[in-house]
Structure 1
Amino acid sequence: MKYFQHMLALLVLLLFNSYAIGQKIKSANQSLKAKDSTEVINEKDSSYVSLNLNYISDAVFFGRKDSTAIPYLYTSAIYHHKSGIYGMGSLSYLTKSNDSRVDLFLVSLGYDFSYDNFTGDVSITKYFFNEASYNVISQVSADVTAVLSYDFQYFNLAATAANYFNNNSTSDFFLSTEISHDFITRNQKFQISPSVGFYFGSQNFYQEYYTNRGSSGQGQGQGQGGADNSTNGNNITVEESETFKIMAIEFGLPVWYELDPVIFMLYPIYVIPKSPSRLIVNEVVYEEDLNPTFYFTIGISLKI
């Protein structure tokens, strides 16, 4: 069994590295539907409904974000059938005092499974952004995501592959890997799972964000570094937006506490963005000045 575990770990790492070197595969662990409080300490063998209320301090995607914080209060409802099939709807409300509105609605359909120490999840998500949204993924229309993880007793290894579809018919592929360890109390009511993740991908979504938000002047419409407001009304190109690169390294410290039927969740995240983009604005080249970001999600979930 140990030989099998070692070979599996090697296979996952080799697969990850081969994609990172030669293909346009990217990961999607930073979408708003990820890191939800629907992650629970104990799996249930029966069907259930989960009602969730969460607050996220900033909308960050692979270390990319707008120059101003985008805090969301978002609520979601999930029906999970005991077969593993589930459906979810989520509504995100922008809580800025001078710019409050419903900014995003999304729906997901997925299937999750487990076998011995394996767990997996495959999902399809459709996004509906407010036309004035300046979220960096506001030009994403849908995604298809697959996650596979294995519990090696002393640590968990997960790999995520996804395809994100943009409004202009381009797409982005993502690949990520994450290593974590679970600390769980004997009564299984409290869990803390420190993790580190590596995220690879292309940036067509970022090109569309700048083109449709920065150049039109809608909302804040600017990335966290580079050309700032000088991009408004100009022709903007993200150089090599289709190139597959490392995008971020993320450190997370998710904490759950279960007081049946309620689950409380706190998820602080520190992300270090990599591979800053080169922006070409009217033939003038700017390089982004990407900075590490700390943000968090806090939430409560009721299971029925």
Structure 2
Amino acid sequence: MATVEHCLFCFDTLASHLAGRKPKTLAQVQESWATYIKTIEANVPEPEDKTPRLSKRHPALQRLATTSSTSSSASSASGVSSSSSSTVSLSQPGSGTDTPATSVSSLSVAEYPLFVTWNTISAHEGRTLRGCIGTFEPQELEEGLATYALTSALHDTRFEPITARELPSLEVAVTLLTDFEDAADAMDWEIGKHGLRISFYYHGRRYGATYLPDVASEQGWTKEETVVSLMRKAGWMGRRDRWRDVELKVVRYQGKKESLEYAEYKEWRDWVDKQETK
């Protein structure tokens, strides 16, 4: 699944690019994050009410506590392993929707299809999409994350390129895609669990689009509303009540997502810089 370190790496890739400096490697990010967490935990006083330290006071430690709790719940389950912020743009429009579904078993442990999403967070408007581009082709994580962190920030044609002054208002989300399956029909998927990738022909023209797994649940859509919206996103302009007349090819998939706001990235990066000057 996507991790905090993946998000930190994306932020550092973008921030370093905008500042004209060399970013940390993914291995460096992972190593420093582990040390950073230990340092924070060691310096957080034990709460007077004896609540476990990991659940108190610091966002990074709260994140770890939540992740640990989620992992425990998942491991005890019986074999069962977000919004406009996840409305995506493919890196090669028109190049992927008819590609056979990728079997997760065929992927290297270090390779995943992936998407990187940038959101702007404000007190007045909440979370709004700022850029999202990814690929359904398996990527080696360091190369793929670095590529799409910049591509989604700087080359999403729906938006102007992100600038350095915007960094403090940003959130990044990384979604690693798994479990690709051909759906039996347009309703053969679960809201909140599956992303959808559709392709179809209409009046001799091919269309295709995708929504990540969190879109339908965050928008509060039904399955039908999701499918129709996705067809509209692909460019279909037919009558809404006739969407079932269109023969859709539907691939469902799952996505393991993690997100991080700039403030948490900046605190980690300041700590890293301080360690390097000692």
Q: TM-score range by the shorter chain?
A: under 0.3
Structure with the larger RCO, 1 or 2 (CA within 8 Å, 6+ apart): 2
Between Structure 1 and Structure 2, whose CA radius of gyration is higher? Answer: 2
